[in-house]
Amino acid sequence: MRPTGLHAVAESETRRGAGGRIRRPAGDTFVDIAYARPAPSNPIPLVVLPGGPGLGSLVPYRGFRRRAAARGFDVVMMEHRGVGLSRLDVDGADLPRASVTIAAVVDDLAAVLDHAGIERAVIYGCSYGTSLAQVFGARHPQRVAGMVLDSTVLDVEGDLALTRAHRRALLLTGSGRLPGLIRALIEDGTVPVDEIGHVAQVVYEFSGPAVLARLLRARAQGRGVRVWRRLVELGGEETSGSGRRFVIEPDLVEGIAHGELGASHAPDGLPLDPQAAFVRDRAPAFHGEPEDLPARLPGFTWPTAVVSGERDLRTPRPVAERTVALLPDGVLVPLADTGHSALDTHRLAALIAARAVAQGDHARLPDLAGAIADLPREGASRLLGPAIRAGLAADLALPGGAVKRA
């Protein structure tokens, strides 16, 4: 049967340029790993590993690949095993979950590069993709020409401690406007604490502190309930269930999310815990990471740019700073007025960082970070901030919805 809908779109992406498939072992069976490579004649090989785990590459990043190709990149994006066109084994069944591991994924990437005839490339990882990029660098260092770590992770225990401390100092225990509003809402007890943490993260990252303050004041007065409920539901398909085929498919990769990355590891039950959104009944237990990345990064001799959004609460600035400190040739690229994932919210910044690394010009990026942050924003997620602001304004404009200013 001929593919339709998003399946057809994904298939078409493998046929552009020099994309394709390569057969790989998956436990007792095999999987055909699909990949896109739209501009093989371009001079700068660039592998892009998006976030997740479970996020598709072929469908969600079509526009990004067009933009990258137009800027001279020979961009390669592999469909992660267990997702999209790489979800099913050669007999048409879902891959065994035990075969979906970080080690298998990074070996898939090496095989894709072999299949594509690419000896070395700049490796761009975003969020979860930074874990893949770093493990790939540890296990296949000869294939790495340079690296961009966008919204980076490093290690489970260290990241968790830094993230909790950063979020809570910024939004809970500090003396500013936002901590006061959040503490008051928690003490009032009418809104579940986990809801407050989730909504605060989304609104702060995508719309900024002023919009978050407005929403918190409204919610404390019983207003803004409609937009609040929509925000509570936002992102649910990314963390549980089967998601949306070819876009986000979290089910087969849960062994990576929970078992290797500790997504639900050791929740502390306190407000603004980043683990709260991922706690699930019957989630795999955390059993350890595939590499001790803090011990491996000092051996990464290639140029590396660590891109960090000012408002990123998921992989915050302290994690980026710790990562840079471990790299022999790493630089921090701090982006103002930016949340999580430049790849999804500020694609020009992502491509500028990749080009600078490819050309060995990455040392200039910190001085250019302000100008880069001010460039026009591209990426589907960039639209969420304006949508939140518009939704809140509409909600409060309904009868009885005006906020009383403090």
Q: Mean pLDDT per segment of 10 residues, for the chain of length 406 residues?
A: 86 97 98 99 98 97 97 99 98 98 99 98 99 99 99 98 98 95 96 94 95 95 92 74 89 97 96 91 92 99 99 98 99 98 97 98 98 92 83 79 43
Domain count, the chain: 2
Give the pLDDT confidence score for residue 399 in this predicted structure.
67
Please check whether residue 377 lies inside any domain of the structure.
yes
Q: Where would I find the beta strands (DSSP E) of 268-340?
A: 304-309, 330-335
Within-domain flag for 310: yes
- 84 & 137 share domain: yes
Structural domain includes residue 406: no
Same domain for 27 and 82?
Answer: yes
- 115 and 23 inside one domain: yes
Same domain? 16 vs 113? yes
Q: Is the same domain home to 56 and 199?
A: no
pLDDT for the residue numbered 405:
41
Question: Does 347 lie in the same domain as 275?
Answer: no
Burial of 72-102, coded b for 16+ CB within 10 Å and e otherwise, reads ebbbbbbbbbbbbbbbbbeeeeebebebbbb
Assess if residue 139 is contained within a domain.
yes
Which domain range does residue 304 map to?
5-156+289-381
Residues 300 and 152 in one domain: yes
Partners of residue 77 on adjacent β-strands? 36
Report yes or no on 227 lying in a domain.
yes
Per-residue model confidence (pLDDT) at position 21: 98
Q: What is the CATH number of the domain that holds 315?
A: 3.40.50.1820
Q: Is residue 48 a contact partner of residue 124, using CB atoms and an 8 Å limit? A: yes
**Do 91 and 193 sit in the same domain of this protein?**
no
Q: Are residues 168 and 72 in the same domain?
A: no
- SS3 category, 307: strand
Q: What is the pTM of this model?
A: 0.95
| Residue 319 covered by a domain | yes
**What pLDDT does residue 51 have?**
97
The answer to whether position 12 is within a domain reads yes
- 250 and 225 co-located in one domain: yes
141 in the same domain as 11: yes
pLDDT given for residue 237 in this prediction:
60
Q: How many CA atoms lie within 13 A of 114 on its CB side?
A: 12
Are 148 and 40 within one domain? yes
User: Residue 241's pLDDT is what?
Assistant: 65
Residue 403 domain-assigned?
A: no
Question: How distant is the alpha carbon of residue 9 from its chain centre?
Answer: 22
The sign of the dihedral angle between the CA atoms of 121, 127, 131, 132 is: negative
